[in-house]
Copies of this chain bind each other. A is one copy, B any other.
Amino acid sequence: MNALSDKTVGRLSLYRRLLNGLVADGVTHVYSHQLAVLAGGTAAQVRRDMMAVGYTGSPKRGYDIRELAQSIGAFMDAPEGQGVALIGVGNLGRAILAYFAGRRPHLAIQAAFDADPYKANRVIHGCHCYPMTEMDTIAAKANIRTAIIAVPATEAQAVAAKLVRAGVRGILNFAPIRLHLPAEVYVEDIDMTMSLEKVAYFSRKGRAEKEVNS
């Protein structure tokens, strides 16, 4: 119920996805050490994360998969679903639309925006694309609090500031710059250049690590 750590939330999201996969396979129960190998962690960490959501398993039978998945969902999802906006419908933006298209019912991209007026009023991968000028009004009307930024680095800061003014409280930022925003706005950066350079470095220097974005 109270504040979870950044990393814990990430793992919970992962656990749920793994659990859904297990349900599809017809499995009904899982032990912490099994979930650990699937998630690439340790059994102790899994158990601690379960503590965080307050779900309790049974010794000798482990965790009830369906119950646990539901428990995580109750913890993470907005009860009424949550709309997301995408800003920037270039190469990357379109790939993001395709990636999330029809995937999650409770966390769908409801509107896309682009500065290029030629892209406006088209439907791309099932998502309506609006001109940037309408961002404020549409975001406010749909009560959107989460946004994905996929615009060039030069425009990202201005777009982010505009989003915050429109009521957005969390941003997934693909632009390769650090955004400067009020402290109450949560920003997660996905910096592909940085990630690739890290991989290249450790490819040469040879160090093993299990790492997750964020």
User: Which A residues fall within an 8 A CB radius of B?
Assistant: 3-4, 6, 9-10, 13-14, 17, 37-40, 76, 78, 82, 84, 91-92, 94-96, 98-100, 103-104, 107, 145-146, 148, 168-172, 176, 178, 180, 183-214
How far does the alpha carbon of A176 sit from the alpha carbon of B58 in the complex, in Å?
Answer: 29
How far does the alpha carbon of A4 sit from the alpha carbon of B207 in the complex, in Å?
Answer: 9
The reply to whether A199 and B146 contact each other, CB–CB distance below 8 Å, is yes
User: Which residues of B are found within 8 Å of A209, using beta-carbon distances?
Assistant: 6, 186-187
Shortest distance between the CB of A104 and any CB in chain B (Å):
8
Contact among B169, B172, B183 for A195, CB-based, below 8 A: B172
From known contacts A38-B178, A91-B95, A203-B146, infer whether A195 and B213 are also in contact, taking CB-CB under 8 Å: yes
How far does the alpha carbon of A200 sit from the alpha carbon of B148 in the complex, in Å?
Answer: 10
How far does the alpha carbon of A206 sit from the alpha carbon of B205 in the complex, in Å?
Answer: 39
The reply to whether A203 and B169 contact each other, CB–CB distance below 8 Å, is yes
The reply to whether B184 and A82 contact each other, CB–CB distance below 8 Å, is no
The reply to whether A76 and B10 contact each other, CB–CB distance below 8 Å, is no
Shortest distance between the CB of A166 and any CB in chain B (Å):
13
Residue of chain B at shortest CB distance from A190: B213
